[in-house]
Amino acid sequence: LERFVTEAFQLAVGERLQDPQEVATGEKPSSSADDSARVPPPAVDFRSALDISSDILRRLQLPFECSITHGWIAAATRTFATSASEANTITDVQLDFVIDWVLRCLVEHAIK
């Protein structure tokens, strides 16, 4: 599972970096020494997190409903994101948390 998540995350980050629109709207580097030392960690947007989560559930051959799963992903994201911009910047650690949350919810949903 960890390999699936890491692989999907790296592919999504690579696609995001190659997207000319992302490059055009990305943050401009600052000339300050403090700012240049703080390189933002690789991240994916919320839509990519949805796609990655659904793809992982399919690869694990787990039955799920997209609309319910999307709600679980949104709920997991609300635990660490307080704004839309934070929800659109999901790191690998946060994505692991989201996937774990979805799997737990899926188990609870199957038990009910």
Q: Which of residues 37 and 85 earns the better pLDDT score?
A: 85
CB 60 within 8 Å of CB 77:
no
Q: State whether residue 24 is helix, strand or coil.
A: helix
Confidence of residue 30 (pLDDT cuts 50, 70, 90): very low
Q: Which of residues 29 and 5 earns the better pLDDT score?
A: 5
Q: What is the mean pLDDT of residues 55-72?
A: 93
Tens of pLDDT, residues 96-107 = 999 999 999 999
pTM attached to this predicted model = 0.74
84 has pLDDT over 80: yes
28 has pLDDT over 50: no
Confidence of residue 52 (pLDDT cuts 50, 70, 90): very high
> Residues with Cβ < 8 Å from 76, sequence gap 6 or more?
97, 98, 101, 102
10 has pLDDT over 90: no
Two tokens at 47?
A: 């839509």
10-40 per-residue burial string, b: 16 or more CB within 10 A, e: under 16: eebbeebeeeeeeeeeeeeeeeeeeeeeeee
pLDDT at 91: 92
